[in-house]
């Protein structure tokens, strides 16, 4: 009889409670699949309140550090959250004692992942964090193991369910950003303080982890250009739809001639692409590997049961004795990355301008774009009912929407600054980058 893997769980909230339940329910299957029983022997949380999960026969550790140091625990499962203590010191303690660690904590891995991976390497334990990106979607294993023999050119995805929910509602119902955010909060999809999600930082933490696995770079959230979705208006989504696109908040890491570009921003994607089909709170990641068509993984990016599925799969790997390098290769082989110089970013652009209703406005805009060698792929000029194209009913500004062919971002900025100086538009131009598949 093989000795069971003795698991200690710190955190019994949305995810932790589901992990206890899943190990209990899947006990026999897990033992068959891994060749070893998996047993939760100890748990801890902030308070000892009654929980909706059966903890009888399981020891209560006085705090996360005591749990991590308990000699009867082989594998620490950290499900408390937070980029600092007690999660950090508990994981560090467990790894330094040669134990394995499983966590769903993207904030901690994005900030301290390299240091912790080094400790895991040195002391021989595993550090698994599949649930930290895309919850139930097995994207970490896909990059680390499934595509270990394949060069990666680009990895990009919808990594934040809150933002995707808001953009889906705005597109489908023509509602404003604020209305959809309020609904997301009412339904529990968005936090009371949603800024971390809507300004793109949650996506950036997950992208930093994916980029490291895909390109062998050091996890560096600070190297990522980040822009959120709060400036997106329903008219952008309507225009995108008319032009054959959808707007998604994407995290993109791509190999370019100048290095690895990492960026998070609202992005127009062709309506026919796999990623454009991903609606509501669902997450998705597309991987472009050398010599193979893109692979898209789609699934639930949050929720107790979905996240527990990935956590328990990581525990199963520990039970099997698998000790992969956490970021796919030894930490000292990971390359440093620099912040993407977005002014040199090359791609197509969506530009929405409020053109003043003057003779020669269209010609001025066209000239300023031509001066920067920007070619226009399509143009939509809206005209309210009863007015001529290019002229508003009351002589007010008229929306002009342009899609450019691939150009540089600094060229777009220069052209738009000139157009603003010419005073042929009112307000600030809206610019959304296009990502082609």
User: Interface with ligand NAP by CB under 6 A: which residues?
Assistant: 10-16, 44-47, 64, 79-81, 86, 104-106, 131, 135, 302-303, 307
Cβ count near 291 (within 10 Å): 7
Cα–chain-centroid distance for residue 152?
Answer: 18
Residue among 161 and 429 whose Cβ is closer to ligand NAP:
161
Closer CB to ligand NAP, residue 191 or residue 357?
191
Give whole-number Cα distances, 136 to 11, 24, 213, 307, in Å: 19, 19, 18, 5
Task: Choose between 47 and 56: whose C-beta lies nearer to ligand NAP.
Answer: 47
104 or 152: CB nearest ligand NAP: 104
Q: Which residue is nearest to ligand NAP (CB)?
A: 13
Closest CB to ligand NAP among residues 46, 358:
46
CB-nearer residue toward ligand NAP: 44 or 273: 44
Strands 259-270 and 225-226: parallel
Q: How far apart are CA 61 and CA 10, in angstroms?
A: 9
Is 332 strand, coil or helix? helix
Closest distance of CB 137 from ligand NAP, Å: 11
Structure tokens at 331: 């930490």
Helices (H), ranges, 299-360 = 304-320
Q: Are 36 and 2 in contact (CB under 8 A)?
A: yes
| Spatial CA neighbour of 251 closest among 261, 237, 236, 238 | 261
C-alpha angle 324-327-329 in degrees, rounded to nearest 5: 70
Report in angstroms how near the CB of residue 133 gets to ligand NAP at its nearest: 9
Query: What is the pairing mode between strands 346-355 and 407-408?
Result: antiparallel
Find residue 380's DSSP bridge partners.
401
Q: Which is nearer to ligand NAP, 55 or 366 (CB)?
A: 55
Q: Please choose, from the candidates 86, 116, 23, the residue with its C-alpha nearest in 3D space to the C-alpha of residue 326.
A: 116
Closest distance of CB 283 from ligand NAP, Å: 10
Q: Are the beta carbons of 39 and 5 closer than 8 angstroms?
A: yes
CB of 149 to ligand NAP, least distance (A): 29
- The SS3 call for residue 231 is coil
User: Quick one: angle between helices 27-34 and 14-25, nearest 10?
Assistant: 70
Least Å from the CB of residue 172 to ligand NAP:
24
Least distance from ligand NAP to the Cβ atom of residue 143, Å = 17
Active-site choice (206, 333, 373, 436) = 206
* Distances, alpha carbon 289 to alpha carbons 133, 152, 156, 209, 346, in Å: 19, 4, 12, 17, 20
**Side-chain-facing half-sphere of 362: CA atoms under 13 Å:** 14
Cβ count near 433 (within 10 Å): 20
Q: How many CB atoms lie within 10 A of CB 261?
A: 24
Cα of 238 vs its chain's centroid, Å: 24
Q: How far is the CB of 306 from ligand NAP (least distance, A)?
A: 7
Minimal distance in Å, beta carbon 51 to ligand NAP?
8
Q: Is 339 a catalytic residue?
A: no
Contact between 375 and 384 (Cβ < 8 Å): no
Nearer to ligand NAP, 12 or 252 (CB): 12
Phi, psi of 334 (to 5 degrees): -80, 135
90 vs 237, which CB is nearer to ligand NAP? Answer: 90
Question: Closest distance between ligand NAP and the C-beta of residue 310, in Å?
Answer: 8
Active-site residue list: 206
């Amino acid at each position: 009889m093989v000795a069971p893997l003795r698991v200690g769980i710190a955190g019994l909230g949305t995810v932790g409670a589901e992990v206890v339940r899943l190990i209990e329910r899947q006990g026999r299957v897990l033992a068959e699949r891994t060749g070893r029983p998996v047993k939760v022997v100890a748990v801890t949380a902030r308070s000892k309140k009654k929980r909706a999960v059966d903890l009888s026969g399981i020891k209560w550790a006085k705090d996360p550090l005591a749990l991590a140091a308990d000699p009867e625990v082989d594998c620490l499962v950290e499900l408390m959250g937070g980029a600092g203590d007690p999660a950090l010191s508990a994981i560090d303690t467990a790894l330094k004692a040669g134990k394995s660690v499983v966590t769903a904590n993207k904030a901690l891995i994005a900030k301290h992942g390299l240091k912790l991976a080094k400790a895991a390497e040195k002391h021989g334990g595993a550090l698994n964090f599949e649930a930290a990106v895309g919850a139930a979607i097995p994207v970490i294993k896909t990059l680390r193991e499934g595509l270990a023999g394949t060069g990666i050119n680009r990895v990009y995805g919808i990594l934040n369910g809150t933002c995707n929910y808001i953009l889906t509602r705005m597109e489908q119902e023509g509602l404003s950003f604020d209305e959809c955010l309020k609904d997301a909060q009412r339904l529990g999809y968005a936090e009371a303080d949603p800024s971390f999600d809507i300004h793109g930082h949650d996506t950036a933490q997950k992208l930093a982890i994916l980029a490291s696995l895909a390109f062998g770079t050091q996890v560096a959230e600070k190297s990522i250009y980040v822009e959120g979705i709060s400036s997106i208006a329903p008219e952008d989504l309507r225009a995108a739809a008319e032009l054959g696109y959808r707007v998604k908040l994407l995290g993109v890491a791509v190999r370019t001639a100048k290095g690895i570009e990492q960026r998070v921003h609202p992005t127009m994607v062709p309506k026919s692409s796999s990623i454009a089909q991903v609606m509501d709170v669902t997450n998705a990641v597309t991987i472009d590997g050398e010599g193979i068509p893109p692979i898209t993984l789609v699934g639930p990016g949050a929720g107790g049961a979905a996240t527990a599925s990935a956590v328990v799969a990581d525990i199963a790997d520990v039970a099997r004795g698998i000790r992969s390098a956490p970021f796919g290769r030894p930490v000292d082989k990971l390359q440093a990355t620099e912040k993407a110089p977005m002014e040199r970013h090359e791609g197509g652009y969506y530009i929405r301008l409020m053109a003043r209703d003057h003779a020669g406005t269209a010609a001025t805009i066209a000239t300023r774009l031509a001066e920067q060698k920007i070619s226009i792929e399509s143009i939509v000029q809206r005209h309210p009912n009863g007015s001529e194209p290019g002229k508003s009913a009351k002589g007010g500004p008229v929306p002009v929407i342009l899609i450019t062919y691939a150009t540089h971002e600094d060229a777009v900025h220069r052209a738009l600054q000139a157009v603003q100086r010419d005073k042929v538009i009112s307000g600030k131009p809206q610019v959304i980058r296009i990502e082609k598949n």
